[in-house]
Structure formats: structure tokens, C-alpha cells
Amino acid sequence: MSVSTQDLLNFWRDGIPHLHIHPADADALRSNNHQFDLRVGVGAWMGPISTAEVVLLYLNGGLSNPEQVVKASLDPETREEMVRTLQGSAPLFSFKTDSDGREWTTARLGQFGVTYDSAATKVAFVNLMPYKSRTGSEDTHMVPLLKSSRLVRQWAHDTLFPEARRGDRVVVCMRSAALWALRTGGKEGVALYAPQVTRGGFMHHGPMREEIARAVRARVFGLPPSEKVAS
């Protein structure tokens, strides 16, 4: 059965009361070794996944400062923001209690020539695994075991990738293209990209980086495609 965006949102509706573990993942998380820090809130996506003009695909959320993120996850205002995010139309996180998260997001957006504020309602970050860890590559064995990961990947192939191929959205795979079942260095259709990237989620310099940055800016700012992005 094809997975729509609404199907994905309906699935995560069951995760809203918990915010740390989706019930459908509980057995897999309990029965397998992993490095996820389940004290922090889930990070299935960030930004308006339902309407985003640009979707950036990642492996999972990082934890450079776990205690700060744990503290933020317990903050009532942050938890309300997490609930709104899982409902599918909220802008990028405010990061009022997580300065590292704001800095990380701003840096990744900068490579496209896009600011945090301009991207807030236009860009979504989507993770293959919704649980944060220091090194996501140590937990890739969990992808086929987590129902949340299987579902988001099916959604990507059933709904998101066809939208990008048609040019309805710009989709850029910024980590782990193979796990998303995309070819590294490839482009499909109008706007489905899987550029060469660093482990930190920055595109390698070259013609594809310039093309992607122009496409992202055109969606966020409505600029002509020929507009150059800053290095």
C-alpha cells in the first residue's frame, strides 16, 4: 500500500503522547543494542513536512551536548513545539533552549545561501531514524528494525521522491543516500538530488552543489535560477 504524507502524520499521531519513543518502535529499541539517547525527544522531522518547498534528508539527529538536549526535552514550551512539529505544519524549531541545535541548523542552511528565518516555513529536515545519538552510523542496523524508519523510507519512495521528480518540491539527500535507496552523486527528474556530502552534512563543492543551491534559493526566495550562491 502506498504511504502518503497524511499516512506518515497519522502514524506519528500515536507518538505525540510519548514524545521520546514511538510505541511501534518500543520492542525493537528494547530488544536490540543501540546508541540512541531515549531521554531526549524524538526527531522524526523538523519544519513543515506537509507543505515544505524544500526537504533535506538526514540519517538521525546528533547529540553534541546531550545534557542540554535532555534539559530542552523536558521544557514544557519545547514539548509543545515538538507536538506541533509532529502535526506536520509547524515551522523550523525555535531552539530557545538549545543553542547548539540552532547553530547546527543555521550552518547547514547556509551552504544553500539560505538564512534560518527565511527557511523557517519553507524547509523541512527529515531523519531516517527519529532517535538522536552521538554517531548515527553506529545505529544503521536499526533502520530495518524500526517501524518508524521503514515507514518514512516508504513514504519517501511513494510520495516525496515522485513529487521531487515532477518538480513539486526540491529534495536533497544530505546523509546516507544508500540507506535512503538513492544513488550518491545522482539526480532524478527535475529536483531529486543525492550530492556527494561530508559526514557532517555539507555538500562537496562543484557544479551539482551550485545547481542545488540555486534550486533551493528559487523555492525559498523566488529568485531566478541563474542567481549565484555564496561559497
Whether the per-residue pLDDT at 136 is higher than 70: the answer is yes
Q: Is residue 179 part of a domain?
A: no
Length of the chain as a residue count: 231
Give the C-alpha separation, 94 to 108, whole Å: 16
Give the C-alpha separation, 130 to 60, whole Å: 6
In contact, 62 and 134? CB cutoff 8 Å: yes
Q: Is residue 200 part of a domain?
A: no
The DSSP result for the chain, as a single string, is: -PPPHHHHHHHHHTTTTTSSS-GGGHHHHHHS-----TTSPP-SEES-TTT-SEEEEES----SSHHHHHHHHH-HHHHHHHHHHHTT---S---TT-HHHHHHHHHHHHTTT--HHHHTTTEEEEESS-S--S-GGGGGGGTTT-HHHHHHHHHIIIIIHHHHHHTSSEEEE-S-TTTTT--TTEEETTTEEE--B-TTS-BPSSHHHHHHHHHHHHHHH---TTPPPP-
Q: Is residue 155 part of a domain?
A: yes
Q: What is the mean pLDDT of residues 127-150?
A: 94
> What predicted TM-score, i.e. pTM, was given to this entire model?
0.93
The domain total for the chain is: 1
pLDDT digits (tens, 9 = 90+) for 65-114: 777 778 878 888 889 999 999 999 999 998 877 778 889 999 999 999 99
Q: Is residue 127 part of a domain?
A: yes
pLDDT digits (tens, 9 = 90+) for 174-207: 999 999 999 999 999 999 999 999 988 999 999 9
Q: Is residue 191 part of a domain?
A: no
Q: Which pLDDT score, from 0 to 100, does residue 120 have?
A: 97
The alpha carbon torsion through 217, 114, 62, 207 (nearest 10 deg) reads 50
- 127 bridge partner residues: 58
Q: What is the mean pLDDT of residues 209-216?
A: 97
- pLDDT band for 224, please (50, 70, 90 cuts): low
Q: Is residue 204 part of a domain?
A: no
- pLDDT band for 231, please (50, 70, 90 cuts): very low
Q: What is the mean pLDDT of residues 33-51?
A: 94
Q: Is residue 114 part of a domain?
A: yes
Place of cell 543553542: 99
Q: 159 is in which domain, residue-wise? A: 5-169
Q: Is residue 16 part of a domain?
A: yes
Q: Which pLDDT score, from 0 to 100, does residue 214 have?
A: 96
